[in-house]
Amino acid sequence: MAGKVALLLWAQTLGLAGAQTTQLLVEPPWRPAVLWDRVTLTCQGSGTAGATTWYKDGQLWGQQGLDHLSVTESGTYTCDRPGSGHSPPVRVLDDELVLQVPARALLEGDTVTLRCRGRQDSPVTTVRFYREEKDLWGSRRGTELSLSPLQLHHSGHYTCSSFARPFLSRSAAVPVTVHGVPLLGVSLSAQPPRGQVALGDRLVLSCMVAAGTGPLSFSWHQEGSGALLGTSPHLELHHVEDNDSGQYQCRVSNGDSVAESDPMNVTVLVPVANATIIPSSPSHQVHAGDNVTLRCSVQVGSAPVTFTWLHNGKEVAQGPLLELRDFDVGHSGTYQCMATNQLGQDGHRMFQALSPELALEVTAWDTETHRVTAARKQQERAPPDPPAPPEEGEVLYTHVVVTKRAGESPRATTLQDAQVTYTELQGPQGRPREPGDIYGNVL
């Protein structure tokens, strides 16, 4: 099971899963393979089953169409599958001395053993190992060389030698390539938390890798911007501005694979500013008994925003609306609203915006009523000129000034609200009334 997992990781690391490359598996799982091990090759790839073409040393070889091939001669073998192309080569040797490496992905941190073998498993003595012609005397253990834990610097070409008097045998060089562990679990963190930062403050984003080996390289990107923002594990933004809001992402590479974090939303919080009061009536004069609603709003400012109402400098209410019912003289005065939001890295920095003052003045209905009533009484004290007597058949009209408030019976209030009604004055059976009768109806 561990071998299958390593092979899967190897395929993901090298991008083989996405590329659908033809693979050539070898059994027993050692490379180079040796002829005396009865080697079997298996071709895997896309396309129709049984459509494999085999090659040895670049020439067509063996029975075509089969997915398996039993090797009977030394050489270099490849296979081809329609749709996924040629496989990487597999060497099969029949040499006096062979150095073998496990035929799997060699991942950083693993333990790997190289073995030096004589033909037909004949005994070998005085074995020494070399990497890039450097003697690894201190690392040998008989006919095997253990590399643990495997590191990237272990990559290179290895050989082994065996001395049996009077002959010295040396194997062909075998490439050993150590891959970094595939990158998994790339994530972002932010300070302040959740990527919420006040305008002008400092923001630090950090990119973390749950699994994977290096050396690691980082790159930072903001959605909608093609610019590279940084190449370190941390991205620091000094004095953030409005346009710094958006989604951020980091990409990590270890040379073999690339992984990306999920995007993180960065929100630049704006302090409140430009608070205003909007009254329900455009007039600043309010009649007694009216209902008045004041609304407070801000042009800029990040939520949550709280509102406090001041009447003549004293706090009277909370919330964006202030409702004044049955307005009276006690409601007159100046009104202000104060908008507040708490931002900053600690969440306790307070920003406030105070609206301009709004002055409201109450106008009583009784004042207007008294003014109209007094004017009418002064007019009644002056003796009126008697009207000319009407001629026979003439209809005399006069008008009476009355006013009406909603829900009330008609009575005198303000001149602005006056309504004019006309009354036809006639005597019984259509006879015109006498002048004395007319005067008694004008009030």
Question: For the segment 105-160, what is each residue's pLDDT rounded down to a tens digit?
Answer: 898 889 999 999 999 989 888 899 999 989 987 655 689 999 989 988 999 999 99
> Residue 130: its pLDDT value, please?
94
Q: Give the domain range for residue 261.
A: 184-269
Residues 194 and 69 in one domain: no
Question: Domain ends where: 169, 192, 221?
Answer: 169
For residue range 174-205, what is the model confidence (pLDDT) as tens digits?
999 998 888 888 999 999 888 888 888 899 99
pLDDT < 50 positions in the chain:
1-18, 367-382, 387, 390-443
> Residue 412: its pLDDT value, please?
32
Question: Domain ends where: 247, 269, 291?
Answer: 269
Question: Domain ends where: 222, 247, 269?
Answer: 269
Q: What is the pTM of this model?
A: 0.52
User: Does the residue 422 lie in any domain?
Assistant: yes
Residues 398 and 332 in one domain: no
Residues 18 and 113 in one domain: yes
> Residue 366: its pLDDT value, please?
53
> Residue 65: its pLDDT value, please?
85
> Residue 226: its pLDDT value, please?
81
Residues 317 and 356 in one domain: yes
Structural domains in the chain (count): 4
Q: Residue 258 in contact with residue 251, Cβ under 8 Å?
A: yes
User: Does the residue 175 lie in any domain?
Assistant: no
Residues 6 or more apart whose Cβ sits within 8 Å of residue 166? none
> Residue 430: its pLDDT value, please?
44
From the number of C-beta atoms within 10 Å of its C-beta (0-12, 13-18, 19+), residue 179 rates as buried
The CATH number of whichever domain residue 61 belongs to comes to 2.60.40.10
Residues 352 and 432 in one domain: no
Side-chain-side CA neighbours of residue 64 (13 Å): 9
> Residue 42: its pLDDT value, please?
94
Name the DSSP class of 193.
G
Residues 6 or more apart whose Cβ sits within 8 Å of residue 431? none
User: Does the residue 262 lie in any domain?
Assistant: yes
User: Does the residue 176 lie in any domain?
Assistant: no
| Cα end-to-end distance, the chain, whole Å | 113
Residues 129 and 43 in one domain: yes
User: Does the residue 146 lie in any domain?
Assistant: yes
User: Does the residue 20 lie in any domain?
Assistant: yes
Residues 64 and 26 in one domain: yes
Residues 99 and 11 in one domain: yes
> Residue 88: its pLDDT value, please?
93
The amino acid sitting at 402 is V
Residues 298 and 348 in one domain: yes
> Residue 392: its pLDDT value, please?
44
User: Does the residue 177 lie in any domain?
Assistant: no
> Residue 140: its pLDDT value, please?
59
Residues 7 and 122 in one domain: yes
> Residue 439: its pLDDT value, please?
31
> Residue 6: its pLDDT value, please?
36
Closest CA to 356 of 404, 310, 411, 398: 310
User: Does the residue 401 lie in any domain?
Assistant: yes
Residues 122 and 139 in one domain: yes
Residues 134 and 71 in one domain: yes
